[in-house]
Structures are given as C-alpha cells and as structure tokens.
Amino acid sequence: MSKLSPVLGLVRGRTPGQLIIQITDRCNATCPQCSMRVSNNFSRSSLSFKKCRDIIDRAAKNGVQALSITGGEPLLYLDDVCELMAYARSAGIQYTRTGTNGYFLRNPDKPGFIDHVKRSVEKLANAGIRNFWISIDSAVPSVHESMRGFDGVIKGIEKALPIFHQAGLYPTANMGINRNLGGLNNNIFTSTHVPATPGEEQDYVACVEEGLRSFFSLVANLGFTIVNFCYPMSVDTDEKGLEAVYPASSVESVIRFSKKEKSLLFKALLNTVPQYRSALRIFSPLSSLYTLLQVYNGKEMAPFPCRGGINYFFINASDGQTYPCGYRGMDNLGSYRQGISTTVPKAFCTRCDWECFRDPSELFGPIVHGFREPLSLLKKYKRDATYYRLWRDDLRYYKRCDFFNGNRAFDLKRLETYSPPAH
C-alpha cells in the first residue's frame, strides 16, 4: 500500500479500515456486567491460529490499518495472540491492540510473580503490540477485584506496570462504565432510581463526577498513563432492532442505564475528562461525548455515521463469521477469508454507542464529510460550532498524546500546558 493510500481513501470517503477478531469467548473472570463470565454456562468457542492468520492476510490485502484481538480473555491464548500480532505488524497493519482482564497479575505476593510477569510482558512487547489494555471496573480496588473475581489483582497491576514500561509498552486502563465505577458507596449512581427532578439530576452528575475523579486518581497512582472509557452497552435491542453478536452485555442492573441516566453520564464525562487531560492520556474524544450528550438530551444533532459494516468489521469466535460490528447479529456478512457479502446495505447506522467503532467514526467524520460534501459540512458547522471546537481540540490533544502510541513513553511536559476548551 502506498503512503498516499490513506489520503486517497479519505477523499473517497473511507477512513483507515479496522478489524476486530474475537479470538475466543472463553473467560476466567466473574464480571457481572458481561455474559461471557466463567459462571455462565454456554458452549464456548475459539478461532484457530490458522484461521486468524488467514483473516489477517486478507485484512492486510484489504488495507486494514487497525487490528484488535479481543475475547473473552485473549491472553488465555497468549502465544497465539503474540504471534498473530507480530504477523499483522509484518503484514503492514500498524495499529495492533489487545488486552487482558488481568488474571495473570493475581497473587502478587507469591514467589516467582515478577519472573512470571516478566515472561508474559516480554512476549507482548516483542510482538510489537501498539496498545495493550488492562480492564479496571471501579475506583475502589476491592470492588474491582470482587467484580472480576481476582483477589489482589490491583496490587499485581501496580507491581507489573513498571515491568511493562521497562519493556516499552504503556498499557491503557480500560473502564467499561458501570454503576460500581466510584465504588459501592456512590449511592446515587449505584441505585437504579432514575433522577426525576433538576436537583436529583444535579446530584447524579456530581456523584458520577466524584466517581470519575477517584477513578483517575486510582489509575494514575497505579502507574497507568493511558485511559479509555467504554460506554454502557445496555442497548434497547427491541427498540433499535439490534441483536448482539456475542454475549458481551448483560441484563444485570450494574450495566443497564436509562436514557436519562446516559445523558447525565455523558454530561459528567464531558465535564470531568478535560480536567484530567493534562495528567493522563485519555482517549475518549470530547466531540463524541458531546454528540452522545446531545443525542440523549433529544437535541437535533446528526452524529457522523458509524463505519461499522463499511470498513470496520467484527469476526465472531463462535461461528467465525463476519459482522458489521458486535451488535448487528442479524447482518451476517459471511467469511472474511473468502470475501464478505456485499448484499447487506452499507447503512447509515448510529444505533448504539459501541466506542470501538463510534469514537473513531466520529473523529474521522468531519474529514470524510469535508472531502465529500464540503457544503453540508459547512452548514453543520454553522449549526453547531461547539462540536467543531471540541473536535479540533481532540485532534490537537491527540497530537500531544502521540496519538496514543502505547510504545512511546509518557511525556507529561507536553500535556501539562493543555487547557480544556469551553463548551
């Protein structure tokens, strides 16, 4: 692929392609927010190394630039994952990403812990993985550990992060937003009562903000330098006509939020994230948070269409088939290796908030739109200048963050002078 290809792609309305391979739906954690937890009884599957490698070959030919290997718990297949990631890099896929629920960081006081961690980290670093996430569910260590079912894992993460850094890998703290974010005493947020008065709404936002502040402080103290949020995926499937491809969501109240709560949640994120941008590399784009806030507030705001099914795809572990994303189970696009079906219309879709696809779609949206429909972009800009102010700020901030290159050391000096935009 020539160096001009990504630019030509943007002119033609295509952002760099992204592929998520769910290598397995096996997992050893107990997370209440996810139906793949170990206690759930269903027939589990994994994709073979060869199948994944063939998919990567095809992805590289298709010009895919970003590859994620997810699970279940991907590191149950540590050697395969590392080999596949290295293979993808050598095939020209630059942005490689995988992660863990942290199970191999349990028992930090056991003899041999450091050596055992060093061996795994060395494999991950040698594979040239660009971004590596470690999930953190709560600002309160004991709450996180009881959700995951991993005693002592927070101390293990703290001990392991310097080893990662030494090997040139700067992991991301990945928070899937849930009601235990600020701990179990964060009452307004942990309760499922939907705020009904302006006073209750204000208290709710303040409560989430407090939880977020504690979370940022925990992850910074542990030694993380990159943070990402996954937005709640309690999709009203009936209403939106969606059908989850894989069991990543749950019916448990810990992860289910009403529309009103989501609007307050996005408000709290939009207020809090900018305050910590000068201390941590926080991926969640303000332009996305702002768009979601407007949408949940019922304001007229057309988000940029999601690239899911256009040039972002998801490969499911249980049937090995390709889907536009993890939430359009009714749109089976067939085998990625053999060439996916083109019969499913490349629809304008904004039916869920899956950050893996929605955040980059929102970030690339103005660029793609600018090349294809400059006038309509101008109109959009005039209607909502705040969005564009936040979007420009996102790009400037991303540059300061080396575009979240998890192989680059944290340069706090470049972030310290960042000042949040008005919105």
Q: Give contact residues for ligand SF4 (rule: CB under 6 A).
A: 27, 29, 31, 34, 36-37, 71-73, 101, 242, 306, 308-309, 324-325, 327-328, 349-352, 354, 357-358
Unique residue bearing structure tokens 């063939």: 54
Shortest Cβ 143–ligand SF4 spacing (Å): 14
The candidate with the shortest Cα–Cα distance to 229, out of 324, 336, 354, 121, is 354
Q: Which is nearer to ligand SF4, 334 or 420 (CB)?
A: 334
Which residue, judged by CB position, is nearest to ligand SF4 in the bound state?
Answer: 308
Residue 298, CA distances (Å) to 40, 166, 231, 268, 294 in order: 36, 47, 18, 17, 6
DSSP state of 284: S
DSSP state of 306: P
The candidate with the shortest Cα–Cα distance to 136, out of 96, 189, 178, is 178
Q: Which is nearer to ligand SF4, 87 or 304 (CB)?
A: 304
Shortest Cβ 236–ligand SF4 spacing (Å): 12
Buried b (16+ CB within 10 A) or exposed e, 313-345: bbbbbbebbbbbbbbbbebbbbbbbeebeeebe
Shortest Cβ 264–ligand SF4 spacing (Å): 21
CB 223 within 8 A of CB 229: no
> C-alpha angle 209/212/215, rounded to 5°?
155
Handedness of CA 266, 268, 274, 277 (dihedral sign): negative
> C-alpha angle 22/316/58, rounded to 5°?
80
Q: How many CB atoms lie within 10 A of CB 385?
A: 10
Shortest Cβ 133–ligand SF4 spacing (Å): 10
| 328 backbone dihedrals φ, ψ, rounded to 5° | -115, 65
Tokens standing for residue 68:
């994620």
Shortest Cβ 416–ligand SF4 spacing (Å): 34
Shortest Cβ 349–ligand SF4 spacing (Å): 3
Buried b (16+ CB within 10 A) or exposed e, 238-247: eeeebebbbb
Shortest Cβ 278–ligand SF4 spacing (Å): 30
Q: Which is nearer to ligand SF4, 19 or 306 (CB)?
A: 306
Bridge partner residues of 95 (DSSP): 66
Q: Which is nearer to ligand SF4, 113 or 323 (CB)?
A: 323
